[in-house]
Amino acid sequence: MKLSMPSIRNLIGSVVEGAPATAIKGRLNKPGAGGLGGVGGIEQRSRMMEYDQPLIWVVLLLMLFGMVMVYSASVALPDSPKYAAYSNYHFLVRQAIFIVISIVAGLIVFRVRIETWQRWAPYLFAGTLILLALVLIPGIGKGVNGAKRWLSFKVFNLQPSELMKLFVVLYAADYTVRKQAVMHKLVKGFAPMTLAVGVVGLLLLLEPDLGAFGVIVCIAMGILFLGGINGVWFGGIGATLVGVFSMVIVLSPWRRERIFAYLNPWEEENALGKAYQLSHSLIAFGRGELFGVGLGSSVEKLHYLPEAHTDFLLAVIGEELGFVGVLVVVLLFYWLVKHAFEIGRQAIALDLTFAGLVAKGIGIWIGVQAFINMGVNLGLLPTKGLTLPLMSYGGSGVLLNCVGLAILLRIDYENRMLMRGGRL
Protein backbone atom coordinates (compact mmCIF):
# COMPACT_ATOMS: atom_id res chain seq x y z
CA MET A 1 0.00 0.00 0.00
CA LYS A 2 1.31 3.42 -0.96
CA LEU A 3 1.32 6.17 1.59
CA SER A 4 0.81 9.63 0.15
CA MET A 5 1.53 12.79 2.10
CA PRO A 6 -2.19 13.40 2.86
CA SER A 7 -2.53 9.89 4.27
CA ILE A 8 0.58 10.35 6.43
CA ARG A 9 -0.84 13.57 7.83
CA ASN A 10 -4.15 11.86 8.54
CA LEU A 11 -2.29 9.10 10.37
CA ILE A 12 -0.40 11.63 12.48
CA GLY A 13 -3.64 13.45 13.19
CA SER A 14 -5.24 10.26 14.50
CA VAL A 15 -2.33 9.47 16.82
CA VAL A 16 -1.10 12.75 18.32
CA GLU A 17 -3.48 13.58 21.17
CA GLY A 18 -6.48 12.90 18.96
CA ALA A 19 -5.91 16.17 17.10
CA PRO A 20 -7.70 16.64 13.78
CA ALA A 21 -5.54 16.01 10.74
CA THR A 22 -6.34 19.46 9.39
CA ALA A 23 -4.96 21.07 12.56
CA ILE A 24 -1.78 19.00 12.32
CA LYS A 25 -1.44 19.95 8.69
CA GLY A 26 -1.71 23.61 9.48
CA ARG A 27 0.95 23.37 12.17
CA LEU A 28 3.31 21.40 9.93
CA ASN A 29 3.18 24.00 7.21
CA LYS A 30 3.02 27.19 9.26
CA PRO A 31 6.45 28.95 9.25
CA GLY A 32 7.84 30.03 12.64
CA ALA A 33 5.22 28.02 14.55
CA GLY A 34 7.39 25.02 15.29
CA GLY A 35 6.28 23.18 12.15
CA LEU A 36 8.36 21.61 9.40
CA GLY A 37 8.02 24.82 7.45
CA GLY A 38 9.80 26.72 10.25
CA VAL A 39 12.89 24.91 11.43
CA GLY A 40 14.10 28.15 12.99
CA GLY A 41 10.90 28.13 15.05
CA ILE A 42 11.76 24.69 16.45
CA GLU A 43 15.24 25.86 17.41
CA GLN A 44 13.89 29.03 19.01
CA ARG A 45 11.31 27.12 21.09
CA SER A 46 14.02 24.65 22.12
CA ARG A 47 16.28 27.44 23.30
CA MET A 48 13.48 29.13 25.21
CA MET A 49 12.60 25.90 26.99
CA GLU A 50 16.12 25.61 28.39
CA TYR A 51 15.42 28.43 30.84
CA ASP A 52 12.79 28.88 33.50
CA GLN A 53 11.13 32.00 32.12
CA PRO A 54 8.40 32.30 34.79
CA LEU A 55 11.08 32.32 37.51
CA ILE A 56 12.98 35.10 35.74
CA TRP A 57 9.85 37.21 35.28
CA VAL A 58 8.72 36.82 38.90
CA VAL A 59 12.16 37.85 40.19
CA LEU A 60 12.29 40.87 37.87
CA LEU A 61 8.73 41.84 38.82
CA LEU A 62 9.55 41.75 42.54
CA MET A 63 12.71 43.83 42.07
CA LEU A 64 11.10 46.46 39.85
CA PHE A 65 7.99 46.66 42.02
CA GLY A 66 10.30 47.04 45.03
CA MET A 67 12.23 49.83 43.30
CA VAL A 68 9.00 51.77 42.68
CA MET A 69 7.95 51.35 46.30
CA VAL A 70 11.42 52.27 47.61
CA TYR A 71 11.13 55.55 45.68
CA SER A 72 7.65 56.16 47.03
CA ALA A 73 8.74 55.38 50.61
CA SER A 74 11.91 57.51 50.47
CA VAL A 75 10.89 60.51 48.38
CA ALA A 76 10.14 62.63 51.47
CA LEU A 77 13.26 61.69 53.45
CA PRO A 78 15.36 64.69 52.29
CA ASP A 79 12.95 66.91 54.22
CA SER A 80 14.44 65.60 57.47
CA PRO A 81 17.77 66.88 58.87
CA LYS A 82 19.34 63.38 58.71
CA TYR A 83 18.91 63.19 54.92
CA ALA A 84 18.97 66.91 54.11
CA ALA A 85 21.98 66.52 51.80
CA TYR A 86 20.23 63.88 49.68
CA SER A 87 18.08 64.51 46.62
CA ASN A 88 14.55 63.17 46.30
CA TYR A 89 15.85 60.59 43.82
CA HIS A 90 18.84 59.44 45.89
CA PHE A 91 17.45 56.09 47.02
CA LEU A 92 15.72 55.43 43.70
CA VAL A 93 18.93 55.90 41.73
CA ARG A 94 20.98 53.80 44.13
CA GLN A 95 18.39 51.03 44.15
CA ALA A 96 18.35 51.04 40.34
CA ILE A 97 22.15 50.75 40.33
CA PHE A 98 21.96 47.89 42.86
CA ILE A 99 19.47 46.07 40.64
CA VAL A 100 21.59 46.46 37.51
CA ILE A 101 24.70 45.24 39.33
CA SER A 102 22.72 42.34 40.81
CA ILE A 103 21.39 41.28 37.40
CA VAL A 104 24.90 41.36 35.91
CA ALA A 105 26.22 39.35 38.85
CA GLY A 106 23.35 36.89 38.41
CA LEU A 107 24.21 36.41 34.73
CA ILE A 108 27.82 35.69 35.65
CA VAL A 109 26.88 33.28 38.46
CA PHE A 110 24.48 31.44 36.16
CA ARG A 111 27.47 30.38 34.06
CA VAL A 112 29.05 28.56 37.02
CA ARG A 113 28.30 24.84 37.20
CA ILE A 114 26.71 23.51 40.38
CA GLU A 115 29.54 21.04 40.96
CA THR A 116 31.91 24.04 41.19
CA TRP A 117 29.79 25.54 43.98
CA GLN A 118 29.87 22.19 45.78
CA ARG A 119 33.67 22.05 45.56
CA TRP A 120 34.07 25.59 46.92
CA ALA A 121 31.29 25.51 49.53
CA PRO A 122 33.52 24.82 52.61
CA TYR A 123 36.00 27.54 51.62
CA LEU A 124 33.27 30.13 50.99
CA PHE A 125 31.73 29.33 54.37
CA ALA A 126 35.10 29.67 56.15
CA GLY A 127 35.90 32.92 54.33
CA THR A 128 32.57 34.44 55.37
CA LEU A 129 33.25 33.46 58.98
CA ILE A 130 36.42 35.54 58.77
CA LEU A 131 34.44 38.49 57.40
CA LEU A 132 31.96 38.19 60.28
CA ALA A 133 34.87 38.36 62.70
CA LEU A 134 36.37 41.39 60.91
CA VAL A 135 33.10 43.30 61.39
CA LEU A 136 33.67 43.21 65.16
CA ILE A 137 37.17 44.72 65.00
CA PRO A 138 37.18 48.46 65.89
CA GLY A 139 38.10 50.62 62.93
CA ILE A 140 37.14 47.95 60.38
CA GLY A 141 33.46 47.25 61.05
CA LYS A 142 30.97 50.03 60.36
CA GLY A 143 28.20 50.69 62.87
CA VAL A 144 24.69 51.99 62.17
CA ASN A 145 22.07 52.61 64.87
CA GLY A 146 24.16 50.82 67.48
CA ALA A 147 24.83 47.66 65.44
CA LYS A 148 28.12 46.81 63.70
CA ARG A 149 27.10 44.72 60.69
CA TRP A 150 28.92 46.24 57.71
CA LEU A 151 32.36 46.38 56.13
CA SER A 152 32.92 49.69 54.36
CA PHE A 153 34.57 49.64 50.92
CA LYS A 154 34.03 53.38 50.30
CA VAL A 155 31.90 52.82 47.19
CA PHE A 156 29.57 50.39 48.95
CA ASN A 157 29.02 48.67 52.29
CA LEU A 158 29.13 44.87 52.48
CA GLN A 159 27.01 43.03 55.04
CA PRO A 160 28.71 39.65 55.69
CA SER A 161 25.56 38.21 57.28
CA GLU A 162 23.90 38.39 53.84
CA LEU A 163 26.81 36.42 52.38
CA MET A 164 26.45 33.88 55.16
CA LYS A 165 22.79 33.27 54.33
CA LEU A 166 23.81 32.10 50.86
CA PHE A 167 26.96 30.24 51.79
CA VAL A 168 25.35 28.39 54.70
CA VAL A 169 22.92 26.98 52.11
CA LEU A 170 25.84 25.67 50.04
CA TYR A 171 27.81 24.44 53.04
CA ALA A 172 24.88 22.68 54.73
CA ALA A 173 23.94 20.96 51.46
CA ASP A 174 27.53 19.88 50.81
CA TYR A 175 27.93 18.70 54.41
CA THR A 176 24.72 16.65 54.23
CA VAL A 177 25.87 14.95 51.02
CA ARG A 178 29.38 14.22 52.35
CA LYS A 179 28.16 12.94 55.71
CA GLN A 180 25.11 11.06 54.46
CA ALA A 181 26.39 7.73 55.81
CA VAL A 182 26.85 9.09 59.36
CA MET A 183 24.06 11.68 59.56
CA HIS A 184 22.27 9.52 62.16
CA LYS A 185 25.28 9.66 64.49
CA LEU A 186 25.70 12.49 66.96
CA VAL A 187 29.48 12.90 67.11
CA LYS A 188 30.43 12.25 63.49
CA GLY A 189 27.32 13.54 61.75
CA PHE A 190 25.35 16.11 63.67
CA ALA A 191 27.77 17.74 66.11
CA PRO A 192 30.22 19.32 63.58
CA MET A 193 27.43 21.13 61.74
CA THR A 194 25.90 22.27 65.02
CA LEU A 195 29.29 23.65 66.11
CA ALA A 196 29.72 25.53 62.81
CA VAL A 197 26.28 27.14 63.08
CA GLY A 198 26.98 27.91 66.76
CA VAL A 199 30.13 29.85 65.83
CA VAL A 200 28.15 31.81 63.24
CA GLY A 201 25.49 32.54 65.85
CA LEU A 202 28.03 33.76 68.38
CA LEU A 203 29.55 36.21 65.89
CA LEU A 204 26.11 37.47 64.82
CA LEU A 205 24.94 37.95 68.40
CA LEU A 206 28.03 40.07 69.07
CA GLU A 207 27.11 42.47 66.25
CA PRO A 208 24.18 42.08 67.30
CA ASP A 209 22.00 40.59 64.55
CA LEU A 210 19.54 38.14 66.05
CA GLY A 211 17.30 38.28 62.98
CA ALA A 212 20.02 37.08 60.59
CA PHE A 213 20.99 34.37 63.07
CA GLY A 214 17.38 33.15 63.13
CA VAL A 215 17.26 32.95 59.33
CA ILE A 216 20.60 31.11 59.14
CA VAL A 217 19.52 28.61 61.80
CA CYS A 218 16.28 27.93 59.89
CA ILE A 219 18.24 27.40 56.67
CA ALA A 220 20.75 24.99 58.23
CA MET A 221 18.14 23.05 60.21
CA GLY A 222 15.83 22.87 57.19
CA ILE A 223 18.51 21.42 54.93
CA LEU A 224 19.61 18.91 57.59
CA PHE A 225 15.99 17.85 58.04
CA LEU A 226 15.48 17.42 54.29
CA GLY A 227 18.78 15.52 54.13
CA GLY A 228 17.47 12.85 56.48
CA ILE A 229 18.96 13.73 59.85
CA ASN A 230 18.07 11.63 62.89
CA GLY A 231 14.67 12.80 64.18
CA VAL A 232 15.73 12.59 67.84
CA TRP A 233 18.78 14.79 67.33
CA PHE A 234 16.76 17.21 65.21
CA GLY A 235 14.11 17.56 67.92
CA GLY A 236 16.77 17.93 70.60
CA ILE A 237 18.67 20.68 68.82
CA GLY A 238 15.38 22.41 68.01
CA ALA A 239 14.48 22.49 71.71
CA THR A 240 18.00 23.66 72.54
CA LEU A 241 17.76 26.53 70.06
CA VAL A 242 14.42 27.60 71.50
CA GLY A 243 16.07 27.66 74.91
CA VAL A 244 19.05 29.64 73.60
CA PHE A 245 16.84 32.27 71.95
CA SER A 246 14.74 32.50 75.11
CA MET A 247 17.84 33.03 77.26
CA VAL A 248 19.16 35.69 74.89
CA ILE A 249 15.88 37.57 75.22
CA VAL A 250 15.64 37.14 79.00
CA LEU A 251 19.24 38.25 79.62
CA SER A 252 18.96 41.27 77.31
CA PRO A 253 16.84 44.06 78.87
CA TRP A 254 16.23 45.94 75.62
CA ARG A 255 15.18 42.75 73.79
CA ARG A 256 12.89 41.88 76.68
CA GLU A 257 11.32 45.33 76.55
CA ARG A 258 10.81 44.97 72.79
CA ILE A 259 9.03 41.63 73.27
CA PHE A 260 6.66 43.08 75.89
CA ALA A 261 6.05 46.12 73.70
CA TYR A 262 5.22 43.86 70.75
CA LEU A 263 2.61 42.05 72.84
CA ASN A 264 0.85 45.33 73.66
CA PRO A 265 1.85 47.97 71.08
CA TRP A 266 -1.07 50.34 71.80
CA GLU A 267 -0.14 51.03 75.42
CA GLU A 268 0.93 54.67 75.54
CA GLU A 269 4.44 53.98 76.83
CA ASN A 270 5.00 51.27 74.20
CA ALA A 271 3.46 53.23 71.33
CA LEU A 272 5.84 56.12 72.02
CA GLY A 273 8.81 53.85 72.77
CA LYS A 274 9.78 50.30 71.76
CA ALA A 275 6.60 49.69 69.73
CA TYR A 276 6.73 53.02 67.88
CA GLN A 277 7.56 51.44 64.51
CA LEU A 278 5.05 48.64 64.96
CA SER A 279 2.19 50.95 65.95
CA HIS A 280 2.75 53.20 62.92
CA SER A 281 3.10 50.15 60.66
CA LEU A 282 -0.30 48.93 61.85
CA ILE A 283 -1.77 52.41 61.29
CA ALA A 284 -0.45 52.28 57.71
CA PHE A 285 -2.15 48.94 57.05
CA GLY A 286 -5.34 50.26 58.62
CA ARG A 287 -5.39 53.33 56.39
CA GLY A 288 -4.84 51.21 53.28
CA GLU A 289 -7.96 49.09 53.75
CA LEU A 290 -8.83 47.10 50.59
CA PHE A 291 -7.35 49.07 47.66
CA GLY A 292 -5.10 51.61 49.41
CA VAL A 293 -4.94 55.38 49.38
CA GLY A 294 -3.11 55.46 46.05
CA LEU A 295 0.50 55.11 44.94
CA GLY A 296 2.60 57.91 46.47
CA SER A 297 -0.14 59.04 48.84
CA SER A 298 1.12 57.41 52.05
CA VAL A 299 1.08 59.60 55.16
CA GLU A 300 3.08 57.27 57.41
CA LYS A 301 6.17 57.58 55.19
CA LEU A 302 6.23 61.32 55.96
CA HIS A 303 8.64 60.84 58.90
CA TYR A 304 6.16 58.91 61.06
CA LEU A 305 7.32 55.39 60.15
CA PRO A 306 11.12 55.01 60.53
CA GLU A 307 13.02 52.93 57.96
CA ALA A 308 9.98 52.81 55.69
CA HIS A 309 12.16 52.11 52.62
CA THR A 310 13.98 49.17 54.21
CA ASP A 311 12.47 47.04 56.99
CA PHE A 312 8.91 48.41 56.75
CA LEU A 313 8.45 48.65 53.00
CA LEU A 314 5.47 46.28 53.18
CA ALA A 315 3.64 48.75 55.44
CA VAL A 316 3.94 51.44 52.76
CA ILE A 317 2.67 48.95 50.18
CA GLY A 318 -0.25 48.17 52.48
CA GLU A 319 -1.10 51.85 52.92
CA GLU A 320 -0.78 52.88 49.28
CA LEU A 321 -2.02 49.74 47.52
CA GLY A 322 -4.13 48.19 50.27
CA PHE A 323 -4.88 44.56 50.97
CA VAL A 324 -4.80 43.78 47.26
CA GLY A 325 -1.22 45.06 46.89
CA VAL A 326 -0.02 43.10 49.93
CA LEU A 327 -1.80 39.97 48.68
CA VAL A 328 -0.01 40.22 45.32
CA VAL A 329 3.37 40.41 47.10
CA VAL A 330 2.51 37.44 49.33
CA LEU A 331 1.39 35.33 46.35
CA LEU A 332 4.54 36.15 44.38
CA PHE A 333 6.75 35.03 47.26
CA TYR A 334 4.59 31.94 47.78
CA TRP A 335 5.03 31.01 44.11
CA LEU A 336 8.78 31.65 44.29
CA VAL A 337 9.29 29.41 47.33
CA LYS A 338 7.02 26.67 45.97
CA HIS A 339 8.85 26.76 42.64
CA ALA A 340 12.24 26.47 44.36
CA PHE A 341 11.06 23.31 46.13
CA GLU A 342 9.76 21.89 42.85
CA ILE A 343 13.16 22.49 41.20
CA GLY A 344 14.87 20.86 44.18
CA ARG A 345 12.57 17.84 44.06
CA GLN A 346 13.29 17.40 40.34
CA ALA A 347 17.05 17.61 40.94
CA ILE A 348 16.90 14.94 43.65
CA ALA A 349 14.83 12.73 41.32
CA LEU A 350 17.70 13.06 38.82
CA ASP A 351 20.14 11.96 41.55
CA LEU A 352 21.56 15.49 41.94
CA THR A 353 21.27 15.52 45.72
CA PHE A 354 23.49 18.53 46.37
CA ALA A 355 21.70 20.62 43.75
CA GLY A 356 18.32 19.56 45.11
CA LEU A 357 19.21 20.50 48.69
CA VAL A 358 20.63 23.85 47.54
CA ALA A 359 17.42 24.64 45.61
CA LYS A 360 15.27 23.83 48.62
CA GLY A 361 17.67 25.74 50.88
CA ILE A 362 17.31 28.84 48.72
CA GLY A 363 13.55 28.42 48.96
CA ILE A 364 13.80 28.20 52.76
CA TRP A 365 16.02 31.30 52.86
CA ILE A 366 13.70 33.47 50.76
CA GLY A 367 10.58 32.09 52.41
CA VAL A 368 11.72 32.43 56.03
CA GLN A 369 13.11 35.95 55.58
CA ALA A 370 10.01 37.12 53.72
CA PHE A 371 7.78 35.55 56.38
CA ILE A 372 9.69 37.23 59.24
CA ASN A 373 9.64 40.63 57.52
CA MET A 374 5.93 40.37 56.78
CA GLY A 375 5.22 39.10 60.29
CA VAL A 376 7.08 42.04 61.81
CA ASN A 377 5.22 44.53 59.62
CA LEU A 378 1.86 42.99 60.52
CA GLY A 379 2.59 42.70 64.23
CA LEU A 380 2.68 38.90 64.21
CA LEU A 381 6.35 38.80 65.26
CA PRO A 382 8.59 41.05 67.40
CA THR A 383 10.32 43.86 65.55
CA LYS A 384 13.55 42.71 63.87
CA GLY A 385 15.82 44.39 61.35
CA LEU A 386 15.24 42.08 58.39
CA THR A 387 14.54 43.38 54.90
CA LEU A 388 11.98 42.05 52.42
CA PRO A 389 13.98 39.97 49.90
CA LEU A 390 14.45 41.51 46.43
CA MET A 391 12.29 44.52 47.31
CA SER A 392 13.68 46.49 50.26
CA TYR A 393 16.39 49.10 49.79
CA GLY A 394 19.92 47.77 50.19
CA GLY A 395 22.80 46.67 48.00
CA SER A 396 24.03 43.57 49.83
CA GLY A 397 20.57 42.10 50.25
CA VAL A 398 19.42 42.52 46.62
CA LEU A 399 22.80 41.37 45.27
CA LEU A 400 22.92 38.17 47.31
CA ASN A 401 19.24 37.43 46.64
CA CYS A 402 19.94 37.64 42.91
CA VAL A 403 23.06 35.47 43.19
CA GLY A 404 21.11 32.84 45.12
CA LEU A 405 18.27 32.84 42.59
CA ALA A 406 20.78 32.66 39.71
CA ILE A 407 22.12 29.47 41.30
CA LEU A 408 18.52 28.22 41.52
CA LEU A 409 18.06 29.03 37.83
CA ARG A 410 21.27 27.14 37.02
CA ILE A 411 20.01 24.09 38.92
CA ASP A 412 16.82 24.16 36.86
CA TYR A 413 18.89 24.56 33.68
CA GLU A 414 21.01 21.51 34.51
CA ASN A 415 17.84 19.54 35.33
CA ARG A 416 16.44 20.34 31.89
CA MET A 417 19.69 19.42 30.18
CA LEU A 418 19.70 15.98 31.80
CA MET A 419 16.03 15.38 31.08
CA ARG A 420 16.73 16.05 27.41
CA GLY A 421 19.47 13.44 27.42
CA GLY A 422 22.31 15.97 27.39
CA ARG A 423 25.45 16.11 29.50
CA LEU A 424 26.53 18.72 32.03
The residues with which 250 forms a beta bridge, in sequence order, are none
- Mind listing the pLDDT tens digit for each residue in 69-97? 999 999 999 998 888 889 999 999 999 99
Coil, strand or helix at 306: coil
Whether the per-residue pLDDT at 31 is higher than 50: the answer is: no
Burial 132-154 (b: 16+ CB within 10 A, else e): beebeeeeebbeeeeebbbbeee
The chain-wide mean pLDDT, for the chain, equals 84
What residue segments make up the domains of the chain, in order of their start? 1-48, 53-419
Q: Would you say the C-alpha torsion 89, 384, 138, 158 has a positive or negative sign?
A: negative
Overall average pLDDT of the 334-358 stretch: 96
Any idea which of 28-42, 144-158, 220-234, 258-272 has the lowest mean pLDDT?
28-42
**pLDDT score at 18:** 39
Greater pLDDT, 341 or 180 = 341
Task: For Cα atoms 312, 318, 324, give the angle at the middle one, nearest 5 degrees.
Answer: 140
Overall average pLDDT of the 106-111 stretch: 96
Burial 399-415 (b: 16+ CB within 10 A, else e): bbbbbbbbbbbbbbbbb
The residues with which 157 forms a beta bridge, in sequence order, are 152
**pLDDT score at 211:** 85
Greater pLDDT, 409 or 149 = 409
Tell me how far apart the 2 most distant CA atoms of the chain are, in Å. 94
Q: Residues 279, 266: contact at Cβ < 8 Å?
A: yes
Give the contacts of 323 (CB within 8 A, at least 6 positions apart): 288, 289, 290, 291
- Mind listing the pLDDT tens digit for each residue in 350-407? 999 999 999 999 999 999 999 999 999 999 988 887 899 999 998 889 999 999 999 9
Overall average pLDDT of the 268-274 stretch: 84
**pLDDT score at 145:** 64
**pLDDT score at 33:** 41
**pLDDT score at 362:** 97
Whether the per-residue pLDDT at 35 is higher than 50: the answer is: no
The string of DSSP codes covering 80-136 is SGGGTTS-TTHHHHHHHHHHHHHHHHHHHHHTS-HHHHHHHHHHHHHHHHHHHHHHT
Q: Residues 374, 317: contact at Cβ < 8 Å?
A: no
Q: Residues 376, 392: contact at Cβ < 8 Å?
A: no
Whether the ω angle into residue 208 lies within 30 degrees of 0, i.e. cis, is: yes
Taking the CB of residue 24, how many other CB atoms lie within 10 A of it?
A: 20
- Counting residues of the chain whose pLDDT is more than 70, the rounded percentage is 87
